[in-house]
Structure 1
Amino acid sequence: MTIWTIICAIIMFCILVLVHEGGHFIAAKSVGVKVNEFAVGMGPVLLKKVRGETQYSLRLFPIGGFCAMEGEDDQSEDERSFGKRPLWAKAIIIVAGSFMNLVLAVIVMAGIILYLGIPTTSISGFSDVSPAEAAGIHTGDKIVSIQQQEVKSWTDITEAISAVQGETVTIGVDRQGQQLNFTMDLTQEEDTGRKIIGILPDVSRNPFTALIKGAEATKLLAVQMVEVIGQLVSGDVSTKELTGPIGITKAVSDSVKYGYVYVANLAALISLNLAIVNMLPFPALDGGRLLFLIIRKVTGRAITDDMEAKVHFIGIMLLFALMIYVTWQDIGRFILN
């Protein structure tokens, strides 16, 4: 790993933390909660500036950040303290951090899709070996059917061609309003062996469509992440598969080698991971704080601020222990080997 890779990893992590804590900050301000400090990083203060009632600071260790609200972890008589807000306002503040990470993941995924383009059913060109071109199909033709079955997307085309039984396929195209059919031999892609006809799709760069596709891709990734978390809880996936800051830096290093699209994709994955993990109902995490809000609303004064603070402190210690564990694993996997 180079210095540049480490710098990229630090910048990425700081941006993700800034977005997360920025969500808490914006939500807190919007419901009238006083914010004492908004910090990126942990440990000693490197830079600070006070604007209004809030101190904005950059701290030494790029391993997190925080939005320190009045009365969040202790009693405060200030009418603008976190503790004085109604349940709905507290819930919005708590959820806002993960929500912003989720929004960032969708936007980054949409940006990647917009940059790469969305394949359409129109043909922009042909590969070196192209049965479609030999059969008489032209660039600009729009594929409307395969084996007399209607197709509406590029995915429909690839799946239909792969499913063809036999050595030939009939392709229906729209050429400037004229419906034409062409029958051609199938060939195989050299690397994968899948059936192809040697066509290249035209691509669309519609921002609205890209946003929808970005949301769909993020939803699919979120489902997969939740499944993995469930497998970790059930023991089907070992904790040895977990990784920490060193592993993330190694992933950034690998992504940089392939280009910034891969770096952006990794950033979206990590942002989504932060959104999901932070909402787990575990002490010290946002999900744990939200759970305590609900429990205390139901039980009244059965749980005091001091009791909740102690539970969250235990949660923080357990999270630190987990971080030490995964970091030690990362050292063994990526540094000592």
Structure 2
Amino acid sequence: MQTAIAFIVIFGVLVFFHELGHLYFAKRAGILCREFAIGFGPKVFSFFKNETMYTIRLLPLGGYVRYAGEDPETDEIKPGTHVGLLFNQQNEVIKLVVDGFDRFQDLLFVEVDSIDLEHKLELIGVEEGKEQIQTFKINEKAFVVNEGKENQIAPYNRQFNSKSVGKRAIAIFAGPMMNFVLAFFIFILLGLLQGTPVNDAKIGQLVSSGPASQAGLKTGDVVLSINNQPVSKWDEVVDIVRKNPDQNLKFIIKRDNQDKTFTVIPKAETSKGTKYGLIGVYQPVEKNILTSVKYGVTETINWTKEIVTAVGHLVTGQFSINNLSGPVGIYQVTEQATQAGIFYLMKWAAFLSINLGIMNLLPLPALDGGRLLFFAIEALRGRPIDRQKEGIVHFIGFALLMLLMIIVTWNDIKRLFM
């Protein structure tokens, strides 16, 4: 149960920040965002605020921001339709009621002659009981009430495709970008909570049953020399210890401004036929904001390089698709990280966040990178690719991604029984 909660929370947070990037920069560009969704499938919870419906859906496997204009607008009001109009103090229409008139008061009923909800924002029609045609100005944030639902109109200048290539590209790129930002802040928080490694010749946290602890060394001791060889860096301490398994090592350390001598015998361990020594001491750490920020930068960059390299190996065939993991494999690693402790779980979340950002930037249909590729083509040719053709390409890409998801999930299941 604990693993399931951790899995859902981690994915929820990663998806939330990814979609938040899309939402924030789309709104900054003036795009009407109809829905901000976490998950897919039926709604579990929803509320409406600042033009956007925020929803949590049943299947926690992703999310999306639904922009006005990406799908055909469904609130078509045909000539001859009788509608009820509700006005604001500036005499602009703020509600166009197609049915359910009894829910509203002070409606002005009009038979529609023509209506433009995208450009002119006006309704031309005849008021009930009169014969003269009138023109009614429609507020750009007006709602159409139809079949019990209220849907805000989307003037063309609020639609996604009305914006410049640059603004659309920023809104799409912002999703993966936020995953890198999230990982960066997770690493900073880790640095503040558990400290960041430093290369000082100091004794860090001790393993209670380790050779160093049994010999009398304490956390914070400054190592001056080992077997009369002066040391000033942690790397030098590690190098000497690893090269001397089962050997007596004379540590001269400084503690409380006094030099003390201890004899430590490194425990022998073997890896790939090579014997090396361990004394049960962790690298020293320090906790401050500057080193934590530096740690956040370096860890984010290093993990980004690792994942990009792995993707490159996959493309060139050096890495088999059979080695990929899907939701089942990720769940298993989440279980291991949960058992190891909160710090390991935070590192795993940061890794997944970077991974999500990189995967979404791949120039594949249905991914953010695929959309950015279409924007680049549009910028080069000076006009957009036919929306219907682009939609078909993204649909095919989505179908192939789902097929890949099925394959890697099947591989995960097979590995469970191997």
* TM-score normalised by L of structure 2: 0.68
Whether 1:115 aligns to 2:113 is no
> What amino acid maps onto 2:167 in structure 1?
A
| Separation of aligned partners in 2, 1:7 and 1:139 | 36
**Structure 1 partner of 2:343:** 261
Report percent identity of matched pairs: 37
Give the secondary-structure state (helix, strand or coil) at the position aligned to 2:382.
helix
Match of 1:218 in 2: 300
CA distance in 2, matches of 1:284, 1:125: 48
> CA 1:301/1:255 → structure 2, altered by over 3 Å: closer, same or farther?
same
**Do residues 321 (structure 1) and 321 (structure 2) align?**
no
Supply the distance in 1 between the matched residues of 2:191 and 2:53 (Cα, whole angstroms): 38
Note the C-alpha offset of 1:191: 3.6
* Equivalence for 2:44: 46
1:225 offset after TM fit, Å? 1.0
Residue among 232, 239, 244 paired with 2:314? 232
Aligned residues: 330
Shift of 1:123: 4.0
Structure with the higher fraction of residues in strand conformation? 2
Q: Is the 8 A contact 1:186 1:196 kept in 2?
A: no
**1:81 matched to 2:159:** yes
1:90 to 168, 175, 188: 168
Rounded to whole Å, the distance in 2 between the matches of 1:159 and 1:300 is 60
Partner of 1:37: 35
- Structure number with the bigger relative contact order (C-alpha 8 A, sep ≥ 6) is 1
Aligned to 1:70: 68
Query: Does the CA contact (< 8 Å) of 1:73 and 1:309 recur in 2?
Result: no
Q: Does the 8 Å CA contact 2:249/2:265 hold for their aligned counterparts?
A: no
Cα deviation, residue 82, structure 1: 1.6
CA contact (8 A) 1:186 1:195 kept: no
Q: Could you list the runs of 5+ residues in structure 2 that have no partner in the other structure? A: 74-117, 119-154
Aligned CA-pair RMSD? 3.4
Structure of higher CA gyration radius: 2
Cα distance in 2 for residues equivalent to 1:35 and 1:101: 20
**For residue 395 of structure 2, what is the amino acid of its counterpart?**
F
Give the stretch that moved more between structures: 194-203 or 75-84. 194-203
SS at match of 2:319: coil
Structure 2 counterpart of 1:88, which letter? G
**Residues 296 and 214 from structure 1, CA distance in 2 versus in 1: closer, same or farther, beyond 3 angstroms?**
same
C-alpha distance after superposition, 1:125-156 (max 9, x if no partner): 8787778998x99975545788878745x345
- Once the two structures are TM-superposed, the CA of residue 199 in structure 1 deviates from its matched residue by 6.3
Does the 8 Å contact 1:185/1:197 carry over to 2? no
Amino acid aligned to 1:312 = H
Tell me, what secondary structure is at the counterpart of 1:301? coil
* Distance in 2 between residues matched to 1:39 and 1:125, nearest whole Å: 44
Contact 1:45–1:60 under 8 Å retained in 2? yes
TM-score of the two chains, using structure 1 as the length reference: 0.82
